[in-house]
Amino acid sequence: MPQNFLEGRREQGFLLPPDVREWLAADHLAWFVIDAVAEMDLSAFYAAYRADGHGRAAYEPSLMVALVLYAFASGQRSSRVIERHCRQDVAYRVITGNLVPDHATIARFIGRHGKHAFHVLSRRKHGSAGAAGWCWS
């Protein structure tokens, strides 16, 4: 009697929907974080970058804020772990739009913008994030 195995087909094309917006349920925390960041005043983050466009391209600040905020809300503090999740976890891939910032970039962003992030998040404490039960202090 022949064996009956399910074979892995690593060469098969992408099985997830091509649109990342279809990868997560509508009530997933990642969508809440993305929406909350869209409502925030991130001008202090943008002001820290050159306006003339010279130099190496940086990751969009709202993307990085959403990434760090989601990671911290999920209990991830290590930039190396966050980078790994950007490669492996669907929610992180949705937040980053399939970009994978390296751990050094993530750590520099947190170090560079820590004061701005605390200020923005503490102002949002009583907004939609506060209504969702998040505590920033």
Mark the ranges of the chain whose per-residue pLDDT is less than 70: 1-10, 12, 14, 16-17, 116-137
The reported pLDDT for the residue numbered 94 is 94
CA distances from 55 to 34, 49, 77 (A): 27, 10, 28
Residue type, 91: A
The reported pLDDT for the residue numbered 34 is 96
The reported pLDDT for the residue numbered 136 is 41
What does the block give as tokens for 99? 């970009």
Sign of CA dihedral 108, 109, 113, 119: negative
| HSE (side-chain half, CA atoms, 13 Å) at 48 | 18
